[in-house]
């Protein structure tokens, strides 16, 4: 008898209907997308995704960390339906409507720090970053920007200029923004300065303070430093708290703004509303998107009133803050506060514990790290050399799909675990058992 009612793979993959859709997609959809395996989604309920041939998968990726309340949460569906019957679009740029104002008021309260914030609404993560770049430049009158190696901030030209993740994302798209400098992220498992965390002197921070800001980049020309409080696409990397504390002091000293890209790490995923809160980090501008509206396209940037004081017409968007997306966001936040954020903290701890048990058994697991349900597992050739094993990582993610478990990679050799925040222990146990079956045979 099956231990869990899921996953349920009934056809060979891709099944016949999926194969047909992939054939059409191959002909007519941009080849720039990065599909790793042939997953053709049809319906979703909670943590279970059903493909077009009726195969049921356990989904540990949630639409790339977006469907935080699970697929088609009934209360989210209801909120969307109710709003769709009242008003679908009006444009917050030129008109007022209640859900947008209510959501802004709520986000003002949720942001760490003083609650005298304003909110600008966007449709995506990249748009949130674009808005933050513009706001930082406008407010400071400066042009230079600092970002991190390994960072992913999006693919529009401004956001892409800050992205430092993969060459393929940048190649062929120059010229990008001028005055962007990338520095090493505090990535303790692979310290760029050859240090070990327990005895390092935060050489990565010293590089910024004592080399960059003294030799090549005048700090008084820097408008903002963009940082992911947990680096996402770069490999789910958790920085040391002291780094962020020092960064805050340094930014203040030189009058530059700190922008936290919480597009992936925000909205309850890490067990707190924003990952910044784990580190006592109080950014000047917070960028959010992804999980904010359970799958409706919405993003937002939050900044204090003193910072967000640009005049009418200086920035706007036709669709940003769409009423249906705002209604879904308000309901999402309500569900997060009613227990999902707490569940993310608890299930995250349980999942990380189970993955660390696996690490003790399988030497190809180099590192397991994360906060809440933003967990990364690095695959290496062996623990001693820590040499990244991208091929094995890809093979594990691929085999998981054929066994009915949806995972994604991040960074060159990390498996990411970013399920919906509704998961329970059975979901975790099932995921870990599938993973172990793969690890045994790889």
Which positions lie near ligand PLP, rule CB under 6 A? 124-126, 129, 152-154, 228, 232-233, 261, 263-264, 289
Q: In the bound complex, which residue of the shown chain has the CB atom lying closest to ligand PLP?
A: 125
Tell the smallest beta-carbon distance from residue 126 to ligand PLP (Å). 3
Q: How far is the C-alpha of 79 from the C-alpha of 73, rounded, in Å?
A: 10
Query: What tokens appear for 235 in the block?
Result: 């490999």
Tell the smallest beta-carbon distance from residue 320 to ligand PLP (Å). 12
Comparing CB distances to ligand PLP, the nearer of 223 and 237 is: 237
Comparing CB distances to ligand PLP, the nearer of 291 and 366 is: 291
Comparing CB distances to ligand PLP, the nearer of 97 and 152 is: 152
- The rounded Cα 145 to chain-centroid distance in angstroms is 21
Comparing CB distances to ligand PLP, the nearer of 278 and 427 is: 278
Query: What tokens appear for 200 in the block?
Result: 């390092």
Comparing CB distances to ligand PLP, the nearer of 83 and 264 is: 264
The rounded radius of gyration (Å) of the Cα atoms in the chain is 22
Hey, how many other C-beta atoms are within 10 angstroms of the C-beta on 216? 8
Cα distances from 225 to residues 88, 169, 175, 222, 422, in angstroms, run 36, 21, 21, 8, 33
Question: With contact defined as beta carbons under 8 Å apart, do 412 and 390 qualify?
Answer: yes
Comparing CB distances to ligand PLP, the nearer of 61 and 351 is: 61
Q: How far is the C-alpha of 363 from the C-alpha of 369, rounded, in Å?
A: 16
Q: How far is the C-alpha of 119 from the C-alpha of 104, rounded, in Å?
A: 6
Q: How far is the C-alpha of 266 from the C-alpha of 418, rounded, in Å?
A: 12
Q: Which residues contact 417 (CB under 8 A, 6 or more apart)?
A: 60, 351, 355, 370, 373, 374, 375, 376, 377, 407, 431
Tell the smallest beta-carbon distance from residue 34 to ligand PLP (Å). 11
Comparing CB distances to ligand PLP, the nearer of 152 and 213 is: 152
Tell the smallest beta-carbon distance from residue 344 to ligand PLP (Å). 17
Tell the smallest beta-carbon distance from residue 289 to ligand PLP (Å). 5
> CA-CA-CA-CA torsion for 60, 65, 66, 67, nearest 10 degrees?
30
Q: Beta partners for 71? A: 46
Give per-residue burial for 378-417: e unless 16+ CB within 10 Å, then b: bbbbeeeeeebbeebbbebbebbbebbbbbbbbbbbbbbb
Tell the smallest beta-carbon distance from residue 266 to ligand PLP (Å). 9
Comparing CB distances to ligand PLP, the nearer of 125 and 268 is: 125
H/E segment holding residue 360: helix 341-361
Question: With contact defined as beta carbons under 8 Å apart, do 125 and 287 qualify?
Answer: yes
Tell the smallest beta-carbon distance from residue 324 to ligand PLP (Å). 17
Tell the smallest beta-carbon distance from residue 387 to ligand PLP (Å). 26
Comparing CB distances to ligand PLP, the nearer of 55 and 294 is: 294
Q: Please give the backbone phi and psi of residue 283, each rounded to the nearest 5 degrees, phi first.
A: -70, 160
């Amino acid at each position: 008898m099956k231990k869990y009612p899921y996953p349920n793979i009934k056809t060979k993959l891709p099944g016949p209907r999926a194969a047909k859709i992939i054939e059409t997609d191959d002909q007519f959809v941009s080849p720039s997308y990065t599909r790793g395996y042939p997953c053709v989604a049809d319906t979703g309920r909670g943590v279970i995704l059903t493909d077009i041939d009726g195969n049921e998968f356990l989904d540990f990726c949630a639409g790339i960390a977006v469907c935080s309340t699970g697929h088609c949460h009934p209360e989210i569906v209801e909120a969307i339906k109710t709003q769709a019957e009242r008003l679908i679009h009006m444009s917050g740029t030129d008109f007022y409507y209640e859900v947008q104002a209510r959501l802004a008021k709520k986000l003002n309260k949720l942001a760490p720090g003083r609650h005298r914030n304003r909110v600008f609404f966007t449709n995506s993560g990249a748009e949130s970053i674009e808005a933050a770049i513009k706001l930082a430049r406008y407010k400071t009158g400066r042009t230079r920007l600092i970002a991190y190696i390994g960072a992913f901030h999006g693919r529009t030209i401004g956001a892409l200029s800050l992205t430092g993740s993969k060459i393929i994302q940048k190649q062929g798209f120059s010229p990008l923004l001028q005055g962007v400098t990338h520095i090493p992220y505090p990535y303790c498992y692979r310290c760029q300065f050859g240090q070990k965390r327990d005895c390092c002197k935060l050489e990565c921070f010293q590089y910024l303070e004592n080399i960059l800001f003294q030799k090549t980049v005048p700090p008084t020309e820097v408008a903002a430093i963009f940082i992911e409080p947990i680096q996402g696409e770069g490999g789910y990397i958790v920085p040391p708290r002291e780094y962020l504390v020092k960064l805050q002091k340094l930014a203040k000293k030189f009058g530059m703004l700190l922008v936290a890209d919480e597009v992936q790490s925000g909205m309850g995923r890490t067990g707190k509303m924003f990952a910044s809160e784990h580190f006592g980090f109080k950014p000047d501008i917070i960028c959010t998107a992804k999980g904010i509206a359970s799958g409706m396209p919405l993003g937002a940037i939050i900044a204090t009133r003193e910072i967000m004081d640009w005049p009418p017409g200086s920035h706007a968007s036709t669709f940003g803050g769409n009423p249906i997306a705002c209604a879904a966001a308000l309901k999402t936040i309500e569900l997060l506060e009613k227990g999902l954020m707490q569940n993310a903290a608890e299930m995250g701890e349980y999942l990380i514990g189970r993955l660390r048990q696996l690490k003790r058994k399988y030497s190809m697991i180099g590192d397991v790290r994360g906060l809440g349900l933003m967990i990364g597992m690095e695959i290496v050739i062996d623990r001693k050399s820590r040499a990244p094993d991208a091929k094995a990582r890809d093979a594990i993610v691929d085999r998981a799909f054929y066994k009915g478990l949806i995972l994604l990679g991040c960074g060159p050799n990390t498996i990411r675990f970013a399920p919906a925040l509704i998961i329970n222990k059975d979901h975790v146990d099932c995921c870990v058992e599938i993973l172990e079956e793969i690890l045994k045979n790889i």
